[in-house]
Amino acid sequence: MNRAWRATEWTPESQPTWKDDKPVYDRGETVCVIGAGASGLAAVKNLREQGFSVDCFERETNIGGAWNWRHSRSPIYASTHLISSKPFTQFPDFPMPDQWPDYPSHAQVNEYLAHYADHFGLREHIWFGTEVSSVEPVEDGRWDVTTRPSGGGAERVARYAALVIANGHNWSPKLPAYEGMDEFRGEMIHASSFKESTMLRGRRVLVVGGGNTGCDIAVEGAMHAAACWHSVRRGYWYAPKFVFGRPADQVNDGIAALRLPLFVRQWLLARTLRLAVGDLTRYGLPKPDHKVLETHPIVNSQLLYQIGHGGLRPVGEVRRFDRDGVELVRGGRIHPDLVIFATGYLPRFEFLAPEVLDADKEGRPNLFMHAFARRHPSLAIAGMVQPDSGLFPIVHWQTVAFARWLRLREADPQRAAQFWHKVRAAPDRKWTNAKVKSSTRHWFEISHTLYLRALQGVLSDLEPVR
């Protein structure tokens, strides 16, 4: 049964204390989880397995987070499929059905998360239709969490022993600033507002952005729009979804398993892509300005097909807009009536002060392994990574580590103090073998093999003594 916010259901364990003329209900050793997408569900499940009571707050009316594409903050569109194959996407303790395809659709992923929640009995711990409006650290490492019904209504404040934030980092659009945008008479939207191909029919569409979303929408435009242009600032490596008859990430993982030096892996992957894809400049695309693995992989088997068949025209970088069209850096003009900016997202925690996460002036948090808050031992962020593979296995082990950490603090304070000293002293490093491009898109870029290997070390440090 889905739990919605109702005052009569709130059964605090003790009489409230008062803060700024508001009652604060102490939830004892209960852990608060914000968000019931894949990361939040994994957090609830793994905290429960360590014996913790959990309250999970979800602003929407059902689980799924980003994968429930009808939700207002979901970046998913109707044709979305995974770009990581099934074995690298599924939770390690809950496999996807054998009969599903190598790359399941967003609807199948959402169905999978629903079955995951039901199998582990997670729904009873989730307050649906409940939005977190503010979170404040208080004494003894505890957290005051203010919530309210998503449709509006009275707020309530509850105090928790620990906090896991799993609200996702792909919902707050990042928009570019080009000269003349205010003058342009056509329509401009961010990719987060794109939902179905019907939005493109009969339109002259410019897609700005060379990431996976930009490439997917450009392919949609090639198939459904009257005309479609694709603008990218730099050259990228494009990987087909299948190489040598296997999903591309499985081939890449086989190469990574050899533990070859980075330059050898880059040479092998570049040679494989050249054999599979060919010379990108033949398609009017710029030559990659970086080595393989230095940007997030672009996995798309249809982009070059559509360019080769004339449905999609690559145009390079935008110089400026004016009333009637777009001027391009490499010369020429185009006249779209719809511009879609697939220019990414920025991490946003509207309910939390930036200093809690040691965020810099650009808003980038300073976290140990992109997960543990350095100033607050009882705070973790789940799923805020951009892996070169699927996210679910990574967030599973992240939340296992945090649950073990909270339990270790109770069971063995001396070992917990030693671990926390390591967390505070650890440098802010990038969990990649290659030097990735410096951009907001790559703030949380990780190599899944390198990151999971390091996370295994953390789990070993937190292993209970038997």
- The single-letter code of the amino acid at 275 is L
Paired tokens of 277: 């894809």
Average pLDDT of the residues in 362-377: 90
Mean pLDDT of the 354-371 span? 88
Q: Report, as an integer, the average pLDDT of 5-16.
A: 53
Are both 361 and 293 inside the same structural domain? no
Average pLDDT of the chain to the nearest whole number: 90
Among 300, 318, 341, residue at a domain's last position: 341
Residue 436's pLDDT is 61
**Between 403 and 16, the higher pLDDT residue:** 403
Note down the domain range covering 363. Answer: 3-172+346-461
Which residues lie closer than 8 Å to 142 by C-beta, 6 or more apart? 159, 160, 161, 378
Which of 341, 359, 386 terminates a domain? The answer is: 341
**Backbone CA torsion sign across 411, 415, 416, 417:** positive
Q: Is the pLDDT of residue 390 over 80?
A: yes
Interval 360-376 mean pLDDT: 89
Same domain, 222 and 102: no
Please check whether residue 179 lies inside any domain of the structure: no
- Percent of the chain, pLDDT > 90? 64
Co-location of 241 and 267 in the same domain? yes
Residue 180 lies in a domain: no
Q: Is 182 contained in some domain?
A: no
* Cα–Cα distance list, 106 to 34, 78, 80 (Å): 22, 8, 6
| Single pTM value for the model | 0.91
Per-residue pLDDT at 360: 84
Q: What's residue 33's pLDDT?
A: 98
* 178 is a domain residue: no
Q: Alpha carbon of 29 to those of 9, 13, 26, 203: distances in Å?
A: 19, 11, 9, 55
**Residues 59 and 75 grouped into a single domain:** yes
Q: Which residues of 146-176 are buried (b: 16+ CB within 10 A; e: fewer)?
A: bbbbbeeeeebbbbbbbbbbbbbbbbbbeee
Can you spell out the DSSP letters for 222-262? HHHBSEEEEE-SSB--EE-SEETTEEHHHHHHHHHTTT--H
Average pLDDT over residues 334-346: 95
Angle, vertex CA 253, rays to CA 391 and CA 212, nearest 5? 50
148 and 221, same structural domain? no
Output the pLDDT for position 2: 52
Query: Alpha-carbon distance 278 to 281, whole Å?
Result: 9
Residues 450 and 307 in one domain: no
Instruction: Give the range among 244-258, 325-339, 349-363 with minimum mean pLDDT.
Output: 244-258
Give me the number of domains the chain comprises: 2
Give per-residue burial for 302-332: e unless 16+ CB within 10 Å, then b.
bbbebbeeebbbbbbebbebeeebbbbeeee
Residue 147 and residue 198 share a domain: no
- Of 341, 373, 404, the residue that ends a domain is 341
Looking at the fold, whether 192 and 332 belong to one and the same domain comes out as yes
Top-confidence residue, 217 or 440: 217
- Position 286 pLDDT exceeds 70: yes
Q: Which tokens is 256 given?
A: 């990574």
Residue 16, pLDDT above cutoff 60: yes
Q: What 3-state DSSP class applies to 388?
A: coil
Q: Would 200 be classed as within a structural domain?
A: yes
Q: Which pLDDT band holds residue 260 (cuts at 50, 70, 90)?
A: confident
130 lies in the same domain as 227: no
Backbone angles phi, psi at 456, to 5 degrees: -60, -35
Helix, strand or coil, per DSSP, at residue 397: helix
Give pLDDT, residue 24.
92
- In the structure, what pLDDT confidence band is assigned to residue 266 with cuts at 50, 70 and 90? confident
Task: Looking at the structure, tell me whether residues 198 and 282 fall in a common domain.
Answer: yes
The model's pLDDT over 48-97, given as tens digits with 9 standing for 90+, comes to 999 999 999 999 999 999 999 888 788 899 999 999 999 999 999 999 99
Q: CATH number of the domain at 70, please.
A: 3.50.50.60
Q: Is residue 177 part of a domain?
A: no
Residue 259: pLDDT over 70: yes
Question: What average pLDDT score do residues 423-430 get?
Answer: 81
Gap between the Cα atoms of 333 and 302, Å rounded: 26
Shared-domain flag, residues 258 and 321: yes
> From the centroid of its chain, how far is CA 197?
23
Whether 442 is in a domain gets the answer: yes
Q: Please, which pLDDT band fits residue 7 given cuts at 50, 70 and 90?
A: very low
Two tokens, residue 446: 């990780």
pLDDT at 8 over 50: no
The reply to whether 181 falls in a domain is: no
pLDDT at residue 428 tops 80: no
- Number of residues assigned to the chain: 466
Determine the distance from the C-alpha atom of residue 17 to the mean position of all C-alpha atoms in its chain, rounded to a whole number: 37
Let me know whether 154 and 7 are in one domain: yes
